[in-house]
Chains A and B, each alone.
Chain A
Amino acid sequence: MAINLKPVDVAVVGLGAAGGVAVLPLAKAGLKVAGIEAGTWMDPHKQYHADEVFNNVRGGVTSVQKANREIPTVRENASSPTRPRGAIHPMMNAIGGTSIHYWASAWRLKPWDFRTRSEVEKRYGKSAIPAGSTLEDWPVTYDELEPFYDTIEHEVGVSGNAGNIQGKLDPKGNVYEGPRQREYPMPALRGTEYTEHMMATAKQLGWKPFHGPAAINSQTYNGRPGCVYHGYCGRGGCHISAKNSTAVSTIPAAMKTKNLTIFDLAQVTRIQTGPDGRASGVTYIRDGKEYFQPASVVLVASYTYENSRLLLLSKSKAYPNGLANNNGMVGKHFLSHWQGSPVFALFPYNINVWYGTPAQTTVVDDFADDNYDHSGLGFIGGTSISLGTEMHPIEAASMNTFGKAPQWGSKWKAFVKENAARWTSSYLQTSTYPYEQNFLDLDPDVKDPLGDPVCRITNANMPNEAKAAAYGQKKTEEWFRAAGAIEVIRGGAGSGGLSTHSYGGTRMGDNKETNVLDKWGLAHEVPNLGVLGGSVMGNSGARNPTLTVQALAWRTAEHIVKNWKSIKT
């Protein structure tokens, strides 16, 4: 029998990148908020290390939590078997969630990403939409989201150079970005000789390079210091809190209001529904005991896989197929960001990318989005090319030998001695779209330790994305060669499986038949249930999702505050 807790105004499931920002406007408005989080506070002193084995080999920051007990299964299509499950979930549970160990690239999507279907149909015709895609325009435009991007950039803290302030272009920033109302609160992270060299090369090629934006302090901000570039940012926590996870930014700010109560180490198992079909609260397990937290509004802010799984598990009389799923759309329009298509380059001298952070970048967007004419290319969307820093020693020694040396022995040793400081890789992200055949559901066989089915990913790689990624790789090769690289080689073709960039499953859209959520992120079928995270997005854009996730989360929270009376009853 569950222990009943005192009712709150809003129960937020998950205090990561999304829930961790949503609590701030709610708590500031005076609403009583319960933040229910499966993880707990990380201890920077004990858990954040400048150590590749700890962070990257063992997943010391990422692998100790609930997420690891419910790693989704993955299969190519409905008739293929599921592949063996990975050992480590790419996401983690903690107060601050994956914003603790992420790369902290902090992008706005382009206005085009919000209206891709209509823009593509207008420019290239209806037949240009990839076959089988369920792509829709978003129910919110870039202009409507802009104030929330601005809020997050300032509340969380983002470093970057503006490329378009109210229509005035500045080549120091990304001239392809949508108009922003003002500068970033901090200048971009500092460049290095390598990133500046790649910047100069891109300009010679006629491209428009810039330093990518990052939720990392480039200087002291809100009482936290600037980045010290020590090179253990990816999959590691920041020992000086220069990386602006929600654990050091919006969550502490929300706690100051005294309206946020955090329930840590609490695993939410079900969202409960009353006889009226409204969400009544959440059930969670903490320390072996079951609790029921009643709430006027429930916001589900776990990761994409868990958002769909939690709704599908929360069956009731009113929702026999899972909460907010009477239209059968929970789990649909799933997409996994097309990444993993790097290009490796070898220079004839040390480039020394050891230190820094993956967000200390030079980026070109000339081949992303719809920034170039796609006529005759056979795909829509494109690829952003990001060249960053941070190389760890085991990783460096595991380098591609470019066909110039064997993989072991004295010849190999001589090769890595000469070249370990001379190579690098690129990070390519390709616009990815939803397709009929790609979806999430509950695995019929594999269960978590509580006996609940894990999430199952059905995801085939689609030709539109493969072509767009290959085009990006071709341009990356050009860039490296123009910069003086003596060897350039493609890594994988890329794919979308288990990923930190997963989208959809609870897509928002005006059409109630094809979407779970309305334009505010509240469920069409359940007016006091909201969902936050990448799961609300119907396409990825060609860049990291977190800033957009956070802007949308803030917007949903603010909508709830402004319409509190009508939403709570």
Chain B
Amino acid sequence: MPEVSRRSVLIGAAIIPVTAIRSAAAPTVPPANALSPEQLRTLDAFVDRLIPKDENGPGASECGAANYIDRVLADNNAAEKPSFLQGLAATDAYAQSTHGSPFADLSAEARDAILTDMDSGKATGFTPNSRTFFNRVRRLTLEGTFSDPFYGGNKNFAGWDLIGYPGPRLAVAPEDQKMHVAIKPMHQSAWGGSNGH
């Protein structure tokens, strides 16, 4: 992407530095260390079925949604890490009892069957119930797939491209608010040039 951070643009009568949209002091992102490799594998197999890779492009796994979740559980969402790990363990236990293998080793069809049971609240072994955990993973998967790539997901802006979100931009022209068209994407993180690539 072009390096634009030293330019200024003229809006009305005021000069606004392009850097104003970005942070001067982006917080350092902690290492992705909330989950063990096995837990991460289970989670990745989970998000992969929520938003699968298919003819419409990369899915949540390719977007790095599991990586996003791994990071936030180590950081901002640390308080929910214990319940989240419980949910992951319960997912594997349910896979073992219904299909005879860990969740991540199962076919797409088998994983879908398990997630359907969880979504409907039928799957057993969850606290308080499987639906609560399913919905939480779904929500975090949406965050990981469609958030600013600064947070470790939405790799190559594939999430934003999927839904047609054109990306944060410094100033929005009237033509960027037109109907009927697809707005030209910016592929730029609000936190600076190297994020998302």
Residues of A within 8 A of B (CB): 44-46, 49-53, 57-58, 190, 192-194, 197, 219-220, 224-226, 228-232, 239-240, 349-356, 389, 393-394, 396-398, 407-410, 412-414, 416-417, 420-421
Contact = CB atoms under 8 A, between A and B. Distances in A.
B177 A417 contact: no
| Size range of the chain B interface in the assembly | 35 or more
Contact of A394 (B147, B182, B191): B147
Nearest to A419: B163
Contacts of A351: 179
Contact of A352 (B21, B51, B169, B177): B177
B165 A229 contact: no
B196 interface: no
B179 A352 contact: yes
B172 A356 contact: yes
Given A225-B11, A351-B179, A230 B168 contact: yes
B110 interface: no
Given A355-B177, A394-B142, A408-B138, A416 B16 contact: no
Contact of B165 (A45, A219, A354): A354
Given A53-B147, A354-B165, A46 B23 contact: yes
A516 to B, nearest CB: 39
Contact of A229 (B119, B148, B177): B177
Interface string B16-40: 1000110111000000000000000
Contact of B54 (A219, A229, A353, A410): A410
20 contacts: A45-B20, A45-B23, A51-B168, A51-B191, A52-B147, A53-B151, A197-B179, A220-B12, A225-B11, A225-B13, A350-B179, A352-B176, A352-B178, A352-B183, A353-B177, A356-B177, A394-B143, A408-B119, A409-B112, A421-B163
* Pairs of residues from A and B, 7 with the lowest C-beta to C-beta distance, nearest first: A225-B14, A420-B163, A50-B168, A228-B171, A192-B177, A393-B165, A355-B172
Nearest to B179: A193
A349 B180 contact: yes
B85 interface: no
A232 to B, nearest CB: 7
A51 B119 contact: no
A190 to B, nearest CB: 7
Given A352-B183, A416-B162, A398 B142 contact: yes
B90 interface: no
A226 B21 contact: no
B162 A417 contact: yes
Given A350-B180, A408-B119, A226 B142 contact: no
Contact of B13 (A220, A354, A356): A220
Given A408-B51, A410-B52, A420-B164, 20 more contacts: A45-B24, A46-B23, A49-B23, A50-B169, A53-B147, A53-B151, A57-B143, A194-B177, A194-B179, A220-B13, A225-B12, A229-B171, A231-B168, A231-B172, A239-B21, A352-B183, A354-B166, A413-B54, A417-B164, A420-B163
